[in-house]
Structure 1
Amino acid sequence: MIVLENVSKEFNSKSGTVKAVKQVNIRVNQGEIHGVIGYSGAGKSTLIRCVNLLEKPTEGKVFINGVELTSLPLPKLRKTRNKVGMIFQGFNLLKTATVYDNIAIPLKLLGYNKDEVKKRVEQYLDIVGLTDKHTNYPNQLSGGQKQRVAIARALAQEPEVLLSDEATSALDPETTDSILDLLLKINRELGITILLITHEMNVIQKICDHVYVMENGVIVEQDTAINLFTKPTHPTTKKFLNTISQRNLSNSLIAQLNVTGAVSRLTFVGESTGKPLLAEVSQKFNVQPNILTANIIELKNGIVGNIVVHLIGDKEQVKNAIHYLEAQGVATEELEGHSHE
């Protein structure tokens, strides 16, 4: 549905050429939700604007539903863009227009008749839960309601693809959750493919099937959401994961807890999350698990559990316990400076 092949984007400035996006490859299948996460300046906003050619790539190709956008003349590109909706961090609503008109005006400009405009506005206001706000103006709405209007406006053109440019970053956590629930509903009920960019790991956690981690214009890691949360490899990915789960304990904290010897991070996924494996370890081997921190992360397509544990006992028994956990499908990682050797 969405394919980027070796997409790069350069900007010329007084100080020289800025390479904002470098040789990016992305493939989003129909009906999936993919997320690009990165810190400020990673190039993700430029990347998503390359998808609908608001920014024309310097190199590479962009395909939407099999059509190569990068090869289309402007009239055909404009027509194809009607099937690509986009929502923004800043809502981009007309302040002097009512909620109804903010959705209706783009449809009128596209040539839809009055009855079709009315039908679509009412239909999509109902989907986003704002039927009773159609006569309100943007300054009478909360931030979450404004974003819902922006989403309804994008949906009213009945796109096949929805792009989200940091759509929740200006919202409080509770409102963010409600908008993410809405995007999930849109994806499931309307079958719309979604590509989003964000710097918030909880957004990725809640709704994404596949994740791309971006840094300095490059995709440094990508995988399914559940694999990325289970076995991250790049330092930037690990930093993001640490924002929603305390995957690492500082040496000073471990010292305060008077911990010596083996300290491991255990990651449980799938069936292993429901098994009392640490209890089994203490029974099968002469070790005592001392849990230092633990949490469970609920993803769109599964559950991941993380435990940082100090295994107390003979070194050989600790090794055997770790091997047993790995045989049960638990990913294990020795924390730096706290080896089992």
Structure 2
Amino acid sequence: MIELKNIHKTFPSKKNGEPITALSDVSLTVQKGEIFGVIGYSGAGKSTLVRCVNHLEVPTSGEVSINGNVLNDMTTEQLRQARQNIGMIFQGFNLLKTANVYDNIAIPLKLTGVEKSEIKKRVDKYLDIVGLKDKKDVFPNQLSGGQKQRVAIARALSHEPDVLLSDEATSALDPDTTDSILNLLLKINAELGITILLITHEMHVIQKICDRVAVMENGEVIEQGNVIDVYSAPKHQTTRRFVNSIFPSDVPKAFIEQLESEGPIIDLTFVGTSADQPALSTVSKRFNVDTNILSGNIVQLKEHPFGKLTAHIKGPKEETDKALAYLEEQGVQVSEVEQGYDSN
């Protein structure tokens, strides 16, 4: 559906120095019908990347193709037509303040030559989908932030695209409103079959709706894969920072020094069905060990439960070894905590 090959993007320096590199050799493939997330901290190159997808930013080199059509090879008119198949929503909503909700959706359709009867049909249809059919005569300043974003989504959908790009669309919203918008995107993806590529700096967005994820840093993709694989076995330090933001697993150094002589302190990762099993409770009953949970959390990754715990397994080495082997047999990923943080 969307394929980016070796994308580079540089910008001229404001002081006539070396060009500024925003993207370096980025390659991604987004499959038809999936929700693909790109996450990174500020300055990672995420916004530049998503704007390269529809050539709002033209890559310095590399190739962008959508549905097998290479955007780099298109004329200005061909590119204009292609963009009608690529919806986009932004953090700032970009609504016309002097136009009501109906016209905010209708005016872009008028400008592309859609007939009046078809415009009405589409505006009504997509306002209904986003849950704002009763707000069509209301002006943006009378709407909440979440409602404004719903109007922006309806406007993007009104062109009936195959692809929807989301540029930090929930960053300005409170947590409850963010969840409502994410649920709406899930609904759009499931019911309309629209492929969604979104960028964010929020792990909650990735875990709630994405099928796959790419992690960016300094203009490069440093890690990518299925969300559940990236969460359960992050390879890059930046990825681990993102995962640890929802699974804080640092154990105070004093705890380790106090407890490690009595048995190992371990990180346990539960994926899918293993997250539903009382593994630690069973270990205490099967083996001559005591278990103590030091920290942990369980979240839902779209369709899969996923949990991380830090625990102390107290007992004779022979018994703790058996307990750890049993946990691994049950599908639990086990790693020993080697050091904690100094709380002083």
Same fold (TM > 0.5): yes
Residue in 2 that maps onto 1:248: 250
Quick one: which amino acid aligns to residue 259 of structure 1? L
Structural mapping, 1:137-148, within 5 Å: 137-148=139-150
Query: 2:128 and 2:243 mapped to 1: Cα distance?
Result: 36
Residue in 2 that maps onto 1:105: 107
Q: CA RMSD in A?
A: 1.4
Contact 2:166/2:199, CA 8 A, preserved across alignment: yes
Contact 1:83/1:159, CA 8 A, preserved across alignment: yes
Structural mapping, 1:277-292, within 5 Å: 277-292=279-294
Structural mapping, 1:221-240, within 5 Å: 221-240=223-242
Give secondary structure in 2 for the equivalent of 1:221. Answer: strand
Contact 1:62/1:69, CA 8 A, preserved across alignment: yes
Give secondary structure in 1 for the equivalent of 2:331. Answer: coil
Residue in 2 that maps onto 1:191: 193
Contact 1:33/1:195, CA 8 A, preserved across alignment: yes
* 2:5 is aligned with 1:5: yes
Structural mapping, 1:112-123, within 5 Å: 112-123=114-125
Query: 1:277 and 1:131 mapped to 2: Cα distance?
Result: 49
| Pair 1:218–1:250, CA change in 2 (3 A) | farther
| Aligned-pair CA distance for 1:320 | 2.4
Contact 2:3/2:30, CA 8 A, preserved across alignment: yes
| Aligned-pair CA distance for 1:24 | 0.9
Contact 1:241/1:247, CA 8 A, preserved across alignment: no
Structural mapping, 1:90-239, within 5 Å: 90-239=92-241
Residue in 2 that maps onto 1:45: 47
Residue in 2 that maps onto 1:337: 339
Deviations 1:190-240 (A, max 9, x none): 000000000000000100000101000111111101111211121111111
Residue in 2 that maps onto 1:296: 298
Query: Which one of 322, 325, 328 corresponds to residue 326 of structure 1?
Result: 328
Query: Which one of 306, 309, 319 corresponds to residue 308 of structure 2?
Result: 306
Residue in 2 that maps onto 1:54: 56
Query: 2:49 and 2:332 mapped to 1: Cα distance?
Result: 36
Query: 2:275 and 2:68 mapped to 1: Cα distance?
Result: 40
Query: 2:97 and 2:290 mapped to 1: Cα distance?
Result: 63
Structural mapping, 1:51-90, within 5 Å: 51-90=53-92
| Aligned-pair CA distance for 1:272 | 1.2
Query: 1:166 and 1:271 mapped to 2: Cα distance?
Result: 32
Q: TM-score, normalised on structure 2?
A: 0.95
Query: Which one of 274, 277, 288 corresponds to residue 276 of structure 2?
Result: 274
Deviations 1:241-273 (A, max 9, x none): 122222333425x369x5334211101112211
Query: 2:315 and 2:192 mapped to 1: Cα distance?
Result: 55
Quick one: which amino acid aligns to residue 319 of structure 1? D
Q: Which moved more, 1:241-250 or 1:295-304?
A: 241-250
Query: Identity over the aligned pairs, expressed in percent?
Result: 59
| Aligned-pair CA distance for 1:278 | 1.3
Give secondary structure in 1 for the equivalent of 2:328. Answer: helix
Q: Which runs of 5+ in 1 are unaligned?
A: none
Query: 2:333 and 2:256 mapped to 1: Cα distance?
Result: 25
| Aligned-pair CA distance for 1:315 | 2.4
Give secondary structure in 1 for the equivalent of 2:222. Answer: strand
Contact 1:209/1:301, CA 8 A, preserved across alignment: no
| Aligned-pair CA distance for 1:36 | 0.3
Contact 1:34/1:208, CA 8 A, preserved across alignment: yes
Query: 1:133 and 1:200 mapped to 2: Cα distance?
Result: 30
Quick one: which amino acid aligns to residue 21 of structure 2? K
| Aligned-pair CA distance for 1:77 | 0.8
Query: 1:119 and 1:197 mapped to 2: Cα distance?
Result: 31
| Aligned-pair CA distance for 1:25 | 1.1
Quick one: which amino acid aligns to residue 100 of structure 2? T
Contact 2:273/2:305, CA 8 A, preserved across alignment: no
Residue in 2 that maps onto 1:21: 23
Q: TM-score, normalised on structure 1?
A: 0.95
Give secondary structure in 2 for the equivalent of 1:178. Answer: helix
Query: 1:76 and 1:25 mapped to 2: Cα distance?
Result: 24
